[in-house]
Amino acid sequence: MLGGSAAAFEALYDRRQGGLYRYALRMTGSEAIAEDVTQDVFLELMRDGRLYDPARGSLKSYLYGMARHRVLRRLERERSHVSIDDEEDGGAPRTDGRLRSDEDPFADLAREETVSLVRQAVLSLPPHFREVIVLCHLQEMNYADAAEVVACPVGTVRSRLARARTMLVEKLRALKGPSLGGRAVKAEQAI
């Protein structure tokens, strides 16, 4: 890609854009910001890609690190916009049609409700706890990769994650009541 191959650049974009976009979307709750962040990350890679040092980490972590930097900056600047976007969406996150099952509409409703509750709860977490939930659970990164992105030791990721999980339970319980565990389990069984 650095050698000027458009095909290589396109392949890299196709491979990494989804994760970066979703990371920014879950962190900010804004599709516009997620779109800007994704575009900015690849523009910077195009411009200053030679700054990437493979010895310091994987390209995936490098891209997520750039995305994280932009996300945190946007959160500081446009924190109020997050809630506005949520209000515009009516607090109902979009779900993929592939998750819907025509056989059990009640199960679909349970899944959509669960997904919506989780996304709302994640967005309500402080950014540093939010990002470990997004990276380790929603992006399904291992602790080591998440530690590279967040630029902190693995132990810090682990402790933050434990704290974030505790906070997330409280948030979900506050949003939906004490029956969260059973509802989520039923929804997962329906999948």
Residues near another protein (CB under 8 A): 4, 6, 9-10, 13-14, 17-18, 20-22, 25-26, 31, 34-35, 38-39, 42-43, 46-47, 94-96, 98-99, 111, 114-115, 117-119, 122, 133, 137-140, 161-162, 165, 168-169, 172-173, 180-185, 187-188, 191
Those residues whose C-beta lies under 8 Å from the C-beta of residue 102, and which sit 6 or more positions away, are none
CB closer to another protein, 11 vs 56: 11
CB closer to another protein, 135 vs 150: 135
Provide the minimum distance between the beta carbon of 97 and another protein in the complex, in angstroms, as a whole number. 9
Provide the minimum distance between the beta carbon of 151 and another protein in the complex, in angstroms, as a whole number. 22
Classify the C-alpha dihedral 88-89-90-91 as positive or negative: negative
What CA–CA distance (Å, rounded) separates 35 from 56? 27
CB closer to another protein, 84 vs 162: 162
DSSP structure string for 102-150 = SS-HHHHHHHHHHHHHHHHHHHHS-HHHHHHHIIIIIS---HHHHHHHH
